[in-house]
């Protein structure tokens, strides 16, 4: 894509990136390990790195990083080389609802997150709000993850590897405020840590087969599976249905009280290979406007 990369000490600056708003990207429910700082920058932990990122006018400032990590991690993580303008154009065609949704969340980009971390994060997310999800993930990381540094007067820890959670008891995992989800985390750690499933190879399967594999894991239902597919495996035709997306789909596109599977099938058929992008715009739109509350 046509943007300029400027290397400075402990910083990389981008100029000319379109369709990029930090609040839209990080506060749209696709990731949980971020802090919004007093200066409206965001500090996040991903791929065993600490990054502070800010937007000033037409510049995006990647702080506490270097050019190698920018090209090796952050360029793909923030999906910087995708033509979001073209995707928006396709989604908006003959669809005024999507046009309004995109206008509201115009700066969303779908992140490329670690598959294992995304699996556990969305198991933890079941029936919870974002503040509680973030707290549980941070406590799990502090207890079982590797210390990776101090930034912004905070100690930061990498997300724990499957082996670090292997053979932990349900009671131990519950101490990280995971509630009933602790047993699912223990089960997932056993499946991935003992190599019963290669979580990093699932993306090689087609979307339907990848979904079937994820659904074999206790605590992973259709919505969680599709979040993992979309936010870590590049399956952009996945269409996760949570309460907000269900409400907005019923409000604008379908009659009320439709089965989740019907809504998912409709979304995938209507939006096709861009269903995941459509889902994110609709989720952000519904939540911002309180549609269906």
Spatial CB neighbours of 198, under 8 Å, sequence gap ≥ 6: none
DSSP state for residue 203 in the 8-state scheme:
G
Tell me: pLDDT of 196 over 60. yes
Tell me: pLDDT of 118 over 90. yes
pLDDT, mean of residues 191-214? 97
Tell me: pLDDT of 220 over 90. yes
Tell me: pLDDT of 215 over 80. yes
Residue in 138, 189, 198, 141 with CA at minimum distance from that of residue 168: 189
Q: Tell me how far apart the alpha carbons of residues 265 and 248 are, in angstroms, rounded to a whole number.
A: 15
Dihedral of alpha carbons 61, 67, 69, 70, sign: positive
Tell me: pLDDT of 293 over 60. no
Tell me: pLDDT of 159 over 90. yes
Tell me: pLDDT of 214 over 80. yes
> Rounded to an integer, what is the distance from CA 286 to the centroid of its chain?
17
3-class secondary-structure state, position 76: helix
Kindly indicate the confidence band of residue 1, based on its pLDDT and cuts at 50, 70 and 90: low
- Stated as kind and residue range, the H or E segment containing 44 is strand 42-46
φ, ψ (nearest 5 deg) of residue 55 = -120, 125
- Stated as kind and residue range, the H or E segment containing 232 is helix 222-232
What domains are defined for the chain? 4-81 (3.30.310.260), 97-108+237-293 (1.10.1670.10), 115-232 (1.10.340.30)
Residue in 145, 105, 113 with CA at minimum distance from that of residue 31: 113
pLDDT digits (tens, 9 = 90+) for 14-38: 999 999 999 999 999 999 999 999 9
For 172-188, b/e burial (b = at least 16 CB within 10 A) is ebbebbbeebbbbbbbb
Report the pLDDT value the prediction gives residue 185, as an integer from 0 to 100.
Answer: 98
Give pTM, 2 decimals. Answer: 0.95
Q: Chain-wide mean pLDDT for the chain? A: 95
Given the DSSP bridges, would you call strands 34-36 and 11-15 parallel, antiparallel or unpaired?
Answer: unpaired
Return the percentage of the chain with pLDDT > 70, whole number: 99
Q: Tell me how far apart the alpha carbons of residues 157 and 164 are, in angstroms, rounded to a whole number.
A: 13
CB-based burial label for 205 (10 Å; 0-12, 13-18, 19+)? middle
Lowest mean pLDDT among 8-12, 31-35, 211-215, 247-251: 247-251
pLDDT digits (tens, 9 = 90+) for 250-268: 989 997 788 888 998 999 9
Placement of tokens 């007067």 in the chain: 153
Lowest mean pLDDT among 7-21, 62-76, 101-115, 275-289: 275-289
């Amino acid at each position: 894509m046509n943007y300029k990369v400027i290397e400075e000490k402990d910083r990389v600056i981008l100029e000319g990136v379109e369709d990029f708003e930090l609040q839209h990207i990080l506060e749209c429910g696709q990731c949980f390990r971020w802090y919004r700082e007093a200066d409206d920058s965001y500090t996040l932990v991903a791929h065993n790195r600490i990054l502070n990122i800010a937007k000033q006018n037409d510049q995006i400032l990647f702080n506490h990083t270097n050019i190698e990590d920018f090209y090796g991690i952050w360029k793909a993580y923030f999906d910087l080389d995708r033509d979001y303008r073209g995707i928006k154009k396709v989604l908006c065609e003959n669809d005024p609802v999507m046009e309004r949704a995109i206008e509201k969340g115009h700066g969303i980009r779908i992140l490329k997150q670690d598959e294992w971390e995304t699996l556990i994060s969305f198991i933890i997310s079941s029936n919870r709000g974002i503040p509680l999800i973030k707290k549980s993930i941070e406590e799990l990381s502090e207890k079982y993850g590797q210390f990776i540094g101090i930034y912004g007067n905070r100690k930061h820890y990498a997300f724990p590897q499957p082996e670090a959670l292997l053979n932990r008891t349900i009671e131990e995992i519950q101490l990280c405020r995971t509630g009933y989800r602790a047993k699912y985390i223990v089960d997932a750690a056993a499946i991935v840590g003992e190599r019963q499933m290669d979580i990093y190879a699932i993306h090689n399967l087609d979307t339907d087969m990848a979904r079937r594999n994820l659904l074999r894991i206790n605590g992973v239902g259709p919505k969680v599976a599709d979040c993992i597919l979309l936010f870590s495996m590049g399956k952009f035709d996945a269409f996760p249905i949570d309460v907000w997306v269900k409400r907005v789909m019923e409000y604008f596109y379908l009659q009320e009280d439709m089965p989740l599977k019907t809504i998912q099938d409709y979304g995938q058929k209507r939006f096709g290979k861009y269903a995941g992008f459509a889902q994110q715009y609709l989720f952000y739109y519904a939540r911002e406007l309180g549609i269906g509350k």
